[in-house]
Amino acid sequence: MTDAHPKLTRLRAQISKLAEDIEGLREGVRPESEALAAVDRHIQQMAEGVRIQPFAFAHTSGGGDPVSMYPEDSHRYACKFFPDVIRARLYDEVKALYQSGLTVADDAAREKMEAQLLDLEHQEEAFIRQAAAEGKSIPRRADANPVVLLAD
């Protein structure tokens, strides 16, 4: 549907674009540095699940298993014995994701954009109310913000 007034058309286009951008930030990912730190934490947590008991080698009667049999997860053992190899591989995978152009979540930017969106929606509503006062009927968007509609 085409709006009768170019100003309203521009406002609605800006509202639509800004709403899309905000949604993209909301569904974004953490910054790359945080993702790489998460890799380090993951490797540490996985490695902690593996117990090494060197006494098993020193004891004359064997003394049990030198490396715990549980957990039965080879990834945990790899993190324990080859953390640098695992880290390098996971870092490469994470960095490749970010090079492909992921949207990074930015709460401060999102809040600023949400404030801009609210301002645009107030402008739109003021325009619609002004038109109504002049006897013109302009339909509201189906996704109009109820906070703006109920504001005085």
List of residues 6+ apart from 32 with CB closer than 8 A: 94, 95, 98, 104
CB 121 within 8 A of CB 146: no
Domain annotation covers residue 96: no
What local confidence, expressed as pLDDT, does residue 51 receive? 81
Say how many C-beta atoms besides its own lie within 10 A of residue 40's C-beta.
13
User: Tokens in use for 40?
Assistant: 């380090």
Domain annotation covers residue 23: yes
CB 76 within 8 A of CB 47: yes
Q: What's the rounded Cα separation, in Å, for the pair 30 and 97? A: 12
Same structural domain for residues 15 and 41? Answer: no
Residue 133, pLDDT above cutoff 90:
yes
Per-residue confidence band for 151, with pLDDT thresholds at 50, 70 and 90: confident
Q: How many domains does one find in the chain?
A: 2
Domain annotation covers residue 79: yes
Q: What's the rounded Cα separation, in Å, for the pair 36 and 81? A: 20
Q: What's the rounded Cα separation, in Å, for the pair 6 and 112? A: 26
Same structural domain for residues 12 and 53? Answer: no
Domain annotation covers residue 91: no
Domain annotation covers residue 90: no
Same structural domain for residues 22 and 43? Answer: no
Q: Which domain holds residue 79?
A: 31-83
Residue 152, pLDDT above cutoff 70:
yes
Domain annotation covers residue 39: yes
Same structural domain for residues 51 and 18? Answer: no
**C-alpha 123: how far from chain center:** 30
Same structural domain for residues 21 and 50? Answer: no
Domain annotation covers residue 56: yes
Residue 93, pLDDT above cutoff 80:
yes
- Region 40-51: mean pLDDT is 93
Domain annotation covers residue 88: no
User: At 69, is the secondary structure helix, strand, or coil?
Assistant: coil
Q: What's the rounded Cα separation, in Å, for the pair 70 and 88? A: 25
